[in-house]
Structure 1
Amino acid sequence: MMNDDDSVMEPPQIVAPLEHPLWPEIKAKLKTVYDPEIPVNIYELGLIYKVELGDGNNAKVEMSLTAPGCPVAGEMPGMVQDAVRAVDGIGDVEVELVWDPTWDPSRMADTAKLQLNMY
């Protein structure tokens, strides 16, 4: 259960296994990944659309970028894969870059909007 302070740090549209025991550490690792051009982590930017955990704690992550022409488009999925793979107890990690739905600022957590002066 989130308290009011935690809710502003959550992207409003993420689909994730919130009750899974590995989720808190996965989320923490995702928050260590930054787009070098934006001073907010990709989790709070709302670039992580979906995280699934299957048999053997294998993870599948669907993510997007702020724009298709993002200069780190080729590197970002690998950065996310490395971050999730660092979670103790995780199995294989697959990261898929998706463009539907298109990312927009409504996907950001309130903390990201505050950091980027978007309020």
Structure 2
Amino acid sequence: MTEAINETVCGAIREALRMIIDPELGRNIVDLGLIYDVSVDDGGIAHVTITTTTKGCPASEYLKEAVRNCVWYVPGVEYAEVRLTYEPAWTPEMMTN
């Protein structure tokens, strides 16, 4: 995958992830700053690193599954791998808009 195509797919993934609303805060997970990293390997394997607002958040599995399902529908993605991390810990300062 060329770098330009990779950037386009990563941008499309981030845009698609705006559809996922955090059930606690009622805002999309991109603007909340819950998406830490998005990359796409050759072959269309997408890697997305996410966090939650608190460690042990009851919505963790819901958010991981929602991200995985959302990313799979982006053109150019053949497989989606979602990793949950708490490093660095999320803070409200990570929010945009």
Instruction: Name the TM tier (shorter chain).
Output: 0.7 to 0.9
Superposed CA RMSD in Å reads 1.6
2:40 pairs with 1:53:
yes
What TM-score do the two structures reach when normalised by structure 1? 0.72
**One-letter amino acid of the structure 2 residue matched with residue 66 of structure 1:** T
Q: Which has the higher strand share?
A: 2
What TM-score do the two structures reach when normalised by structure 2? 0.87
Structure 1: which 5+ residue stretches go unaligned?
Answer: 1-16, 112-119
Q: Deviations over 1:19-78 (max 9, x none)?
A: 712133212211001111212100110000011111112110111000013221121101
Structure 1 runs, 4 residues or longer, greater than 2 Å off: none
* Count, aligned residues: 93
For the Cα contact (< 8 Å) 2:53–2:90, is it kept in 1?
yes
SS at match of 1:65: coil
**One-letter amino acid of the structure 2 residue matched with residue 76 of structure 1:** L
Correspondence for 1:68 among 42, 55, 72: 55
Show the counterpart of 2:68. Answer: 81
Show the counterpart of 2:20. Answer: 33
Supply the distance in 2 between the matched residues of 1:67 and 1:32 (Cα, whole angstroms).
21
**One-letter amino acid of the structure 1 residue matched with residue 34 of structure 2:** L
Show the counterpart of 2:84. Answer: 97
**One-letter amino acid of the structure 2 residue matched with residue 60 of structure 1:** H
Structure 2: which 5+ residue stretches go unaligned?
Answer: none
SS at match of 2:90: coil
- Percent identity (aligned): 34
**One-letter amino acid of the structure 1 residue matched with residue 66 of structure 2:** M
